[in-house]
Chains A and B, each alone.
Chain A
Amino acid sequence: MHIAEGMLPPVQCAAWFAASAPFVIHGSRQVLRTVREHPERKLLLAAAGAFTLVLSALKLPSVTGSSSHPTGTGLGAVLFRPPVMAFLGTVVLLFQATLLAHGGLTTLGANAFSMAIAGPWAGYAAYRLLGRVTRATWPPVFAAMAVANLATYAVTSVQLAIAYPDAASGLPGALAKFLSLFALTQIPLAIAEGLLGVLLFGFLSRAARPELVGLGVVPETTDA
């Protein structure tokens, strides 16, 4: 869930913009360098951004009969690396804010920090760490998707707790309140997104091996 327009105090809006800006600028430079070295990847990056946006339209089956949707930032971080996702994720958030009023302009910095920066970096770190421990493909992919999802919502909880400390129990109480409320939906959703990521990665490994090799995600010759 993105923090909606008007939900953060002005000073905190500015602080989150300042915190996100270096990552987004670094990501933009990375994208510019990629496009300069590989002009053919411009459209691939655009397709990846559009794909991230469309992911939110695809519903995930849920055990309760209800449905949820994935965020896709973990997969994006594995395929395109976190700096690129910082730029693409911010553009996605900007489109969602202006076209769907989902998120907001004044909260763009905070949302970019949670969804386009913290989520992808945490997911990618989990992917690389588990990749060193095991040779199997599925544990790192599962961890990347699930951790990116959970990290996004953990950071969002921290942002909301800083903005709205509980009247009785202060920041810790507010953090516990927001984390526990998010946990009801996000822990099952993160597990579901992790499972979906494993199946999706398997599908792409079979159906789009040349593209994955081109991105450097899988080696040219492998039996994984």
Chain B
Amino acid sequence: MSARVTAVDDAAWAGPWRSVAVGDKVALSLALVLTALLTPAWPGSVLVAVVAVALMLGPARIRPGLLAAVALPPLAFLVAGAAPLAVEVQLGEWPRVTPDGVARAAGVVAHGVAGSLSVLLLATTTPMVDMVGWLRRLRVPGPLLEIAELMYRLLFVLADTAVALHAAQAGRLGGQAPLRRRFRHAASAVGTVALHSWHRATRLQAGLALRGFEEDLPTLSPAGRRTPRLLIAGLVVVAGVVAACWAVA
């Protein structure tokens, strides 16, 4: 998890769309998500998925390898999660796969893939810190945003700790310990991560208090440049997808 989150964050910081206004990127991503949800799977969701991938690999310059690494696990979950929709059940009969069920499952997968890729377009182009700054400008209460921001920052520290603990335990146990002992070790690993996070939070709080941090923790957040062309392109894409759906219908 840690490596994937770090890779997404690194791509968002280094990408050319970092300087684009967060509101514009949110509007584009949400427009694609809603278009994927509200239009028929064919051709609506398929077109949205193609547009999202084209935007990530094209102007946003996301590496294909990174996109595959980030997108494939959730897409595999989607396929596995939609599979039961293809099965019909009746009391006293064996469950059976029906053509209608397969079509319904395929439609759900198409909606899901397009929606997930549209969300990833935002994730791979916008660092979480910028997103929090944007929400602050929308007057979301500061303490709530600070907790969310601190959660995000602590996440990397704790994920590294969890991975190191897991590796150390695996090295010591070699996967051969009895189940009871493995449970006990898993519990102590979870507890150690909890304690580590509490102690680190306490030390961070003390350090910030010494610097005069009492209520708000102001941080610099770039406003980003407004890009009317991006919004117009987004509108054109949505209109094109809706027109294509209408033509097919």
B190 touching A178 by the CB < 8 A rule? Answer: no
Of A40, A53, A167, A204, which contacts B98 at CB under 8 A? Answer: A167
A99 touching B128 by the CB < 8 A rule? Answer: yes
Please report whether the interface of chain A is mostly helix, strand, loop or mixed according to DSSP: helix
Contact pattern, A 63-83, Cβ under 8 Å of B = 1, otherwise 0: 100000010000000000000
Residues from chain B with a CB closer than 8 A to the CB of A36 are 143
Closest-by-CB residue of A relative to B190 is A200
Q: Contact size class for B?
A: 35 or more
Does B10 sit within 8 A of A, measured CB to CB?
A: no
Stretch at the interface among A112-120, A147-155, A168-176: A168-176
B154 touching A50 by the CB < 8 A rule? Answer: yes
A95 touching B191 by the CB < 8 A rule? Answer: no
Of B2, B119, B214, which contacts A98 at CB under 8 A? Answer: B119
A19 to B104, CA, bound (A): 26
Stretch at the interface among B53-61, B73-81, B225-233, B241-249: B73-81
A176 to B151, CA, bound (A): 37
Number of interface residues of A (CB under 8 A): 73
A43 touching B150 by the CB < 8 A rule? Answer: yes
Does B162 sit within 8 A of A, measured CB to CB?
A: yes
B147 touching A6 by the CB < 8 A rule? Answer: no
Contact pattern, A 195-215, Cβ under 8 Å of B = 1, otherwise 0: 110011011100110010000
Q: Which residues of B come within 8 Å of A, CB atoms?
A: 1-2, 4-5, 8-9, 30, 33-34, 36-38, 45, 70-71, 73-74, 77-78, 81-82, 84-85, 87-91, 95, 98, 100-101, 104, 108, 110-116, 118-120, 122-123, 128, 131, 141, 143-144, 146-148, 150-152, 154-155, 158-159, 162-163, 166, 179, 182-184, 186-191, 193-195, 197-198, 200-202, 204-205, 209, 214-215
